[in-house]
Structure 1
Amino acid sequence: MRYGWIWILAVALLPGCRQDPVEEIRAPEGSQTSDAEPISLPPHSWPWWRGEQRDGVAHGETVQFDWTSQPNVLWGAKIQGLGHSTPIVIGDKVLITTADEKLESKSLICYEASSGKVLWTTNIHQGGFMRIHQKNSQASTTPASDGKYVFTAFIVKDSLYVTAVDLKGQVVWQKEAGPFRSQHGYGSSPIVYGSLVIVLGDSDGPGFLAALRRDTGDIVWRVSRANEPSYGTPILAEIAGKPQIIVGGTGTTSSYDPETGELIWSTRGTARTTANTPAVAGDLVISTGGYPQNGSQAIQGDGEGDVTDSHIQWEARERIYVPSPVVYDGKLYAINDDGIGICYDLATGERLARKRIGGNFSASLTIYGDQMLAPDESGVMHVFHADPEFTEIAQFRLEGTGFASPVFSDGRLFWRTSTHLYCLVPPSPGA
């Protein structure tokens, strides 16, 4: 038994071992969605991760960009620090999160959409940086806005903190949502729903899903999840006639009631670890994973309880891990981490295309009109026709690498690289 105590200590320190579940908080009786001011967004907003309809599609009128290797850059603003979060657009403001390794600060920056002028910078946290994967950053989560406040989610000293900042850059409230033990960092973006802002805390310790009041930051409900790290953002959608939050990871795909946090249904799969956002097409949920298992599931979202044996419509074994899939014209599109374009028929799961694009990808496809855009990690923006062949229209490169997804607002493309925030516009008539 000379080394017995070492073995006991080693087992106790294994990730996920002997970790008590996070303390749960149950929602009070009655609806929580009528307690705060209504969400009010200016026209042409891209207010949170994957856009206003949370699907990675630019809805509304589009303009013709005529993409070439020399895009028309209206402005480019140098970014202090590093982050992989995608920009959001609220009226005449573009906002990003960033982290400065030297100062060990985490900030929210607001730019004027027409000029790229920095309107304000708000320091959200100082110190307490977490351990991260080499491909992650200390500011990888996209902020979200209800039109009045901007919400950020950061890990500081083994806790997940949510902060509300008004559109003048003043911190309104800051609250700890729950504990978080980092394996490779954090990547899940906040969700705005009714009077709530909802965050996922799947970590290398006690995991949780929590809802905080938009106006005060008070926790309304919090439910525990498995001790498994996962990095994706849930999706909020109307499915089978009711709002549902769909969460991948921890070896399951699960649906929760956003009002109360109660589990509605779950399936086994697709993977223990996910790093992207599921897609929704009507009542069909498509969940994908990439570690250690590969695969995708299409799940009918009208069930209750464990629906593994009854509601999976189709499955596929292709790896779609970090980049999120997007639904367009009855098909599911994605470029996976290894630079392979994949297209499935939504109804049947038939694979319609598997095409090598080249490079490595962490950003997700964005649909604009009948085109798809995504940058690879080296910083090359790829523009495709939205067809199963991934017919390439153009490539272009600006300064910096490419981990953030492109977003559109009012006929303008906003793209954040590792060094700059850019605004691209169509060429002037006659140019």
Structure 2
Amino acid sequence: MFLNNRDLLISLYLAVTVCGCSRVDPVEEIRSLPAATKAETALEVDLQTDWPWWRGPNQDGHSLSSELPTSWSADENVVWSVAVPGRGHSSPCVVSNRLFLTTADEVAHRQIILCYDQGTGQQLWAAPAHEGKFMQQHSKNSQASATPACDGKHVFALFLNAGGLWATATDLTGQILWQTEAGPFGSEHGYGSSPTIYKSLLIVLGDNLTGSFIAALDRQTGRIVWRITRPTTGQHGSFATPVIANIAGRDQLLVTGMKKTSSYDPTSGKLLWSCDGPSEVTANTVAWGDGLVFASGGYPEKQLLAIRADGSGNITHSHIAWEARKGTAYVPSPVFHGGKLFVISDDGIATCFDAANGRMLHKVRIGGNFSASPILANGFLYVVDEQGTTVVIRAEESLEIVARNELGNGGMASLTICNSRIYVRASDRLYCIAHQPD
């Protein structure tokens, strides 16, 4: 642990203790000045080989790796494995030779950012972000469920702590550079959204019971550049992760939840369009392709929407290309590929849709229960079930199951696949999988 951060952590702990865990603060909107987000801070990541944030380099669940095994076990194609302290459901992010992960010590009540050598699995450092003031969570959630992001110079992590959503930035040695409360957050189920990077901004979603918001922070300083409110139903929070897609000729910040699918200008937070549905609560990430945004939910409704992304304002009655009530997913994210939409349901059914018209082409029961999202790599879908078995499915209409790979100790985190390696976070271990010589 980094004792040089001790004074910072004590000050932070005392500050948030005053607020308590059950506070209900109004969310104040912050509007950016025209020049506030003009300067683009270059990303020092390799989008061909790195996996710098949730859902990969293009935020669409696609990996560019081609030399990958489809089968492995504890004794086959394992480059290394290492015990991970604490508990968490975040996926690793990988930049250059470093792998970053978050975890929580549920006994000592610490939320921690971890760094490993991605080649050997050696732990390089552990940076404590918060101590005490854990919040209530769902039994399937954790106190470290948001996947970190890295811009090549900084590591960004999100934690729910002391009634607020906190963003923490470290340098690549684990030194904490800044911590900012993006906004108050109240939820009976905890937090699960991951941060998104856009130009000079770190964008975070705070859909919750007391006042939903999206906030954009300056990556260098942690200053809130803009923050806008979102609909709050008062019944449930939501757990989707926003993503940036260049679609319909413009960059769009896309997010579902609170009974809407919404698109924002990521520079300013201005609402571009919104569409009712798919459900009040979503816990996944949209897919997109061929001018359409694909949104799946959820709870209490089950619905899959395909929305044309070139509208403005409320487009509920004008831009829904198709919808489906079967073949939906609540937590796993859909994947678009080659004119098809692939969905893995929470209860283990894989479905292939014609993405243009919504026609169900095929479905296969693969078994198991799923909270992780599938990753597309080298023509296959890789997805791990809650028992720790990774199912490999051919990403074609046939949905052929080509392998089941058991590591056997739980799998709530989505896979990370980059640079010809597959990183599997199990309940208490991290595995690196790759082709190994005979």
TM-score for both structures, normalised by structure 2: 0.91
Q: 1:275 aligns with which of 283, 287, 303?
A: 283
Identify the residue that residue 307 of structure 1 maps to in structure 2: 315
Number of paired residues? 409
Are 2:264 and 2:273, in contact at CA under 8 Å, matched by a contact in 1? Answer: yes
Distance 1:71 1:234 in 2: 36
Which shows bigger deviation, 365-374 or 20-29? 20-29
Which shows bigger deviation, 336-345 or 193-202? 336-345
CA RMSD after TM alignment: 1.4
* Superimposed CA distance per residue, residues 134-182 of structure 1 (whole angstroms, 9 cap, x where no aligned partner): 1111111000111110111111111001011111111010001000002
Q: 1:72 aligns with which of 77, 82, 85?
A: 77
Are 1:248 and 1:278, in contact at CA under 8 Å, matched by a contact in 2? Answer: yes
- Check if 1:120 corresponds to 2:128: no
Distance 1:409 1:268 in 2: 35
Identify the residue that residue 12 of structure 1 maps to in structure 2: none
* Superimposed CA distance per residue, residues 13-33 of structure 1 (whole angstroms, 9 cap, x where no aligned partner): xxxxxx885110001123604
Distance 1:21 1:238 in 2: 32
TM-score for both structures, normalised by structure 1: 0.92
Identify the residue that residue 37 of structure 2 maps to in structure 1: 32
Q: 2:67 aligns with which of 63, 67, 70?
A: 63
- Check if 1:379 corresponds to 2:384: no
**Alpha-carbon spacing, 1:247–1:30, altered in 2? closer, same or farther (3 Å):** same
Look up the SS of the partner of 1:248 in the other structure: strand
Shift of 1:51: 0.3
Shift of 1:119: 0.5
Distance 2:422 2:38 in 1: 33
Identify the residue that residue 41 of structure 1 maps to in structure 2: 45
Are 1:235 and 1:279, in contact at CA under 8 Å, matched by a contact in 2? Answer: no
Q: Which amino acid aligns with 2:415?
A: P
* Superimposed CA distance per residue, residues 91-129 of structure 1 (whole angstroms, 9 cap, x where no aligned partner): 000111000100100001100011100000000111111
* Superimposed CA distance per residue, residues 315-356 of structure 1 (whole angstroms, 9 cap, x where no aligned partner): 011231000011111111121111111111110110112221
Identify the residue that residue 105 of structure 1 maps to in structure 2: 110
Identify the residue that residue 375 of structure 2 maps to in structure 1: 366
Distance 1:236 1:64 in 2: 27
Paired-residue identity, %: 45
Distance 1:353 1:404 in 2: 26
**Alpha-carbon spacing, 1:317–1:132, altered in 2? closer, same or farther (3 Å):** same
Give 5+ residue unaligned stretches, structure 2.
1-23
Q: Which amino acid aligns with 1:153?
A: L
Identify the residue that residue 19 of structure 2 maps to in structure 1: none
Q: 2:211 aligns with which of 187, 206, 223?
A: 206
Distance 1:33 1:107 in 2: 33
- Check if 1:389 corresponds to 2:398: yes
Q: Which amino acid aligns with 2:43?
A: I
Distance 1:295 1:355 in 2: 19
Are 2:274 and 2:314, in contact at CA under 8 Å, matched by a contact in 1? Answer: yes
Distance 2:351 2:82 in 1: 34
* Superimposed CA distance per residue, residues 248-303 of structure 1 (whole angstroms, 9 cap, x where no aligned partner): 01111111110100100001111011000011114210011110110111011111
Distance 1:169 1:101 in 2: 21
Identify the residue that residue 152 of structure 2 maps to in structure 1: 147
Q: Which amino acid aligns with 1:115?
A: T
Distance 2:56 2:409 in 1: 23
Identify the residue that residue 7 of structure 1 maps to in structure 2: none
Shift of 1:227: 2.0
Runs of 4+ in 1 over 3 A off after TM superposition: 68-71
Q: 2:348 aligns with which of 339, 348, 373?
A: 339
- Check if 1:415 corresponds to 2:424: yes
Q: 1:227 aligns with which of 192, 215, 232?
A: 232
Shift of 1:183: 1.7
Q: 1:320 aligns with which of 329, 339, 353?
A: 329
Q: 1:290 aligns with which of 268, 286, 298?
A: 298
Are 2:333 and 2:374, in contact at CA under 8 Å, matched by a contact in 1? Answer: yes
Identify the residue that residue 255 of structure 1 maps to in structure 2: 263
Shift of 1:389: 2.8
Distance 1:371 1:125 in 2: 39
Q: Which amino acid aligns with 1:251?
A: K
Look up the SS of the partner of 1:408 in the other structure: strand
Q: 1:218 aligns with which of 219, 223, 228?
A: 223
Which shows bigger deviation, 72-81 or 280-289? 280-289
Distance 1:341 1:161 in 2: 36
Are 1:21 and 1:224, in contact at CA under 8 Å, matched by a contact in 2? Answer: no
- Check if 1:188 corresponds to 2:193: yes
Distance 2:38 2:197 in 1: 11
Distance 2:399 2:333 in 1: 16
* Superimposed CA distance per residue, residues 63-100 of structure 1 (whole angstroms, 9 cap, x where no aligned partner): 14252555311110100000010111010001110001
Distance 1:209 1:397 in 2: 38
Distance 1:90 1:33 in 2: 25
Distance 2:408 2:281 in 1: 32
Are 2:68 and 2:421, in contact at CA under 8 Å, matched by a contact in 1? Answer: no
Distance 1:99 1:64 in 2: 31
